[in-house]
Structure 1
Amino acid sequence: MLTSNNTDPREGKQLSFENTEVAFRHTSNAALKRAWWLFKLININFLVKIGPPVTNWALNMHLPIKGIIRATIFKQFCGGETIAECDSTIKNLAQGGVGTILDYSVEGEDEEAVFDETCQEIIRTIHRANGDKSIPLTVFKITGVGRFGLLEKLDAKQDLTEAEKAEWKKVEQRVTMICKKAYDLGIPVMIDAEESWIQNTIDELALTMMDVFNKERAIIYNTYQLYRHDKLESLQEDHDIAVAEGFILGAKLVRGAYMEKERRRAMEMGYKSPIQTTKQATDDDYNKALEYCVANIDTLAIVAGTHNEDSCQILADLLDQYQVNHNHPHIYFSQLLGMSDNLSFNLADSKYNVAKYVPYGPVQAVLPYLFRRAQENTAIAGQMSRELGLITKEKKRRTAPPAP
């Protein structure tokens, strides 16, 4: 790992991810206690595994558990059920210098009317961001505005029926509508990555949008999942295209979100898994991608989506190494609401650009997102223990007697 002498140029502060006072300055004692209990439970893998079927059964039986969900896991990881309900979260994050990325997290729909409504909801998030520096970025998933099976067929290079061609045209129109609104209002929008067997179609669509809307500044961002062994090369190839075509490449860098599903499908269908063979290989490619992006910062804008402390430190050091301002508009750090506040708020305190994903939507509709989040994070060795340890440290700091 690179060594760090990062300091805030205005305040002379050294960047540290251990400062829990800064990390939880925005968190009340009651919220800290709730988070402590929640992470304690999430740390028990058994509860995470049985949670989804038990919760879905209870909801289907109309048992009164929605209030419990809303007061616990939903409150920790989501901003509310509507954009308006997210206002207090937006304000709270902004007080610590952290921006908000409104993320409409309804999943698994496949009806045209729902796709149209989701498209309009995403546009509403762009309007909400307009004129509000607290919301520097917006985001959407292509499967929020188009059918998964259609994308799968396109990725497999299968012929579409006439009805499917018309359906795909509607998907393109929705994506163009979102991207044009983002361009018109000057609000960057990120296109999330999804499963590898629909990702090529998403990549092509994202690059097409960038070629149209990223000529003057980075408005459209595609997402690169570096747990795939081909994505560092893909990032570099896309950057070459951007330079040749005269647009800025927008790149959100993440490790990835579908590892178990990807490996299982590859095994079942008898093809080589796209996932890196080791975590170290993923970490290496992620950090190489960071350096590649900083080295090409004039023609490449990045959002570093990561809960990895080493990667955050490496990116901070790279900015110093390449003499890039901490608050350069082409560099954002990003984490999820309710997690890694020690990264988000300490980075913001040292004047780096930081924004948290703030998922929102009806409680029952957002449950798949919440369950996946809990399952993913228990798979990250030590992540929940790290969260729990930091919260415990802050609880003790707050209750410690004052120094004599």
Structure 2
Amino acid sequence: MIANSLFDNTETAFRLKSDSELERAYFLFKMISKEPLVKIGTAVTKFALNVNLPVEGLIRSTVFDHFCGGVSETDCMSTVDKLSDVGVCSVLDYSVEGKEEDAQFDATANKVIELTQFAKNKKAMPFSVFKPTGFGRFKILQKVTEKQPLTEEEKLEWEKLEARYDRVAKVAHDCNISLLIDGEESWMQDAADDLCERMMEKYNKERPIVFNTLQCYRWDRLDYLKKLHGRAKNKGYKLGFKIVRGAYMEKENERAAEKGYKSPICESKMATDANFNEILKYILDNLNDIELFVGTHNELSTYLAMDLMEAKNISKSDNRIWFGQLFGMSDHITFNLGAEGYNVTKYIPFGPVKDVMPYLIRRAEENTSVAGQTSRELTLLKKEKIRRKL
């Protein structure tokens, strides 16, 4: 049994933060802990950016620099190197959201290809990543999920979306870099899952290259995983999954209530935790067929994964199991795991300030809704400030 005090070590957790960065982190989490402030702040920020007020400098020096690696991949490299020095790998995430044009989707796919080829020779960057809506319109994914007939123009659009998936997956396969595909809203996810499954069948013959995401706040995901596992065994390919709790809960519940269908979200936080842990156990029981990326900020689930690995005699550095947290959050988990010799990464979002703001706003809103996590961050930051003073 792993001692449940590993993540209290703040000296290791904040070893890369200067005193001023520690103060900034404390200030930001203090702000995020106040829901009215988040609502006002996000509304003001959206307005200021939309009317081109000169606020980018302010955003960069506060929230952007805390949660993002920079405006370009070159910008991120000093962070990647610093993390690598303390045993933490990086996943560079080009976090541009909400685009609608073909040219923008092509540009995003090209950027992911560029990053994947760049990562090929960089041991500290074992993964590449993209969001389905980075490669095609939300509405087209929704239409395919809902099995609505497509117009000729939409069929062409869908073919282009599929071609982007294939192009990126092929490059990842050729570079031997694992490709994480993020999960999004349930009403477009079936189309994204089917596309991902096709890529897995094509490129995961020897080992998992393409990883899908299971959002474990959805009560149907364990069943989906078991069925896909059966299909993959029959067809002779491997699976890779990133497991997360999920990021669209309020939106999911609101839409289900408004449209009168059963919410896809587990009925309680406790049910979500149980579902996450069951999915975690299932994958660890089938590690010869399924590789695992544990994307969590939850300490108990992380301790559970560590305990299960120990019970099954799985080495800490077994390349089939990775842990990951977002840049700027849960350093107490990331850096303590790294110091213990586990495979761990930081997801590092980057991109032009204006384009990355939808991502940052979602992060702030998400943190507000997970109050326990924000107060845990504050407690640890305060503890480290006191430790340094002493």
Work out whether the TM-score is over 0.5: yes
Structure-2 residue corresponding to 1:229? 219
- Work out the CA distance in 2 between the residues paired with 1:155 and 1:235: 18
Report what 2:362 is aligned to: 372
From 110, 118, 134, the counterpart of 1:128: 118
Paired AA for residue 34 in structure 1 = R
CA distance in 1, matches of 2:344, 2:375: 23
Displacement after TM superposition at 1:261 (Å): 0.5
Q: Do 2:181 and 2:210's aligned partners in 1 also have CA atoms closer than 8 Å?
A: yes
1:272 corresponding residue in structure 2: 262
Q: Does 1:183 align with 2:173?
A: yes
1:52-101 deviation digits (Å, cap 9, x = unpaired): 22112222333221111000000000000111100111112112211111
CA apart distance, 1:116:
0.7
State the partner residue of 1:154: 144
- Which of 54, 61, 64 is equivalent to 1:64? 54
> Given that residues 151 and 198 in structure 1 are in contact (C-alpha distance below 8 angstroms), is that contact kept between their aligned partners in structure 2?
yes
Per-residue CA deviation, residues 184-232 of structure 1 (Å, 9 max, x unaligned), is: 0000001110110111111111111011111111110000001001011
Task: Write out aligned runs for 1:112-261 (5 A).
Answer: 112-261=102-251
Question: Secondary structure of the equivalent of 1:253?
Answer: strand
Distance 2:144 2:252 in 1: 18
Given that residues 15 and 350 in structure 1 are in contact (C-alpha distance below 8 angstroms), is that contact kept between their aligned partners in structure 2? no
Tell me the equivalent position of 1:4: 2
Equivalent in 376, 395, 398 of residue 388 of structure 2: 398
Counterpart residue identity of residue 326, structure 2: L
- Tell me, yes or no, if structure 1 residue 31 matches structure 2 residue 31: no
Q: 2:71 aligns with which of 81, 90, 112?
A: 81
1:109 aligned residue: 99
Residue 313 of structure 1 is matched in structure 2 by 303
Give 3-state SS (helix, strand or coil) of 1:194's partner: coil
Give the ranges of 4+ consecutive aligned residues of structure 1 lying more than 6 Å apart after TM superposition: none
Partner Cα distance (1:389, 1:15) in 2: 14
| Structure 2 counterparts to residues 285-300 of structure 1, below 5 A | 285-300=275-290
Distance in 2, matches of 1:61 and 1:137, equals 36
CA contact (8 A) 1:15 1:347 kept: no
Partner residue, 2:373: 383
- Secondary structure of 1:334 counterpart: strand
Instruction: Give, in whole Å, the separation in 2 of the partners of 1:52 and 1:346.
Output: 32
Contact conserved, 1:193 with 1:222, CA < 8 A, in 2?
Answer: yes
SS class of match (1:64): coil
Distance (whole Å) between structure 2 residues aligned to residue 107 and residue 96 of structure 1 = 31
What runs of 5+ residues in structure 1 fail to find an aligned partner? 6-13
Name the amino acid aligned to 2:259: M
**Aligned-pair CA distance for 1:323:** 1.1
Cα distance per residue 1:260-292 (max 9 Å; x no partner):
000111111111110000110000010111111
Alpha-carbon distance, 1:26 to partner: 1.3
| Alpha-carbon distance between aligned partners in 2 of 1:197 and 1:299, rounded to the nearest angstrom | 28
Number of aligned pairs?
Answer: 390
Q: Classify 1:19/1:93 alpha carbon distance in 2 versus 1 (closer, same or farther; 3 Å).
A: same
Alpha-carbon distance in 1 for matches of 2:87, 2:225: 30
Counterpart-to-counterpart distance in 2, 1:30 and 1:122: 33
Distance 2:229 2:295 in 1: 19
* RMSD of Structure 2 on Structure 1 (CA): 1.1
CA distance in 1, matches of 2:47, 2:212: 36
Per residue, is there more helix in 1 or in 2? 2
Query: SS state of the match for residue 72, structure 1?
Result: helix
Distance 2:142 2:50 in 1: 30
Q: Is the 8 A contact 2:33 2:371 kept in 1?
A: no
Aligned-partner Cα distance in 1 for 2:211–2:242? 6
2:6 is paired with a residue of what secondary structure? coil
CA deviation map 1:166-188 (0-9, x unaligned): 11111111100000000000000
Residue number among 17, 22, 45 corresponding to 1:55 in the alignment: 45
Match in the other structure for 1:8 = none
Can you list the C-alpha shifts for 1:223-265, whole angstroms capped at 9, x where unaligned? Answer: 0001001011111111111111111110110000100000111
User: Contact 1:15–1:346 at 8 Å: present in 2 too?
Assistant: no
Is the 1:26–1:95 contact (alpha carbons within 8 Å) kept by the matching residues of 2? no
| TM alignment of 1:326-365, pairs within 5 A | 326-365=316-355
What is the TM-score when the length of structure 2 is the normalising length?
Answer: 0.98
**Following the alignment from structure 1 to structure 2, what is the Cα–Cα distance between the partners of residues 360 and 241?**
36
Distance in 1, matches of 2:148 and 2:189, equals 15
- Give the match's secondary structure for 1:288: helix
Tell me, yes or no, if the aligned pair for 1:150 and 1:164 is still in contact at 8 Å.
yes
Measured after TM superposition, the shift of residue 15 of structure 1 is 7.0
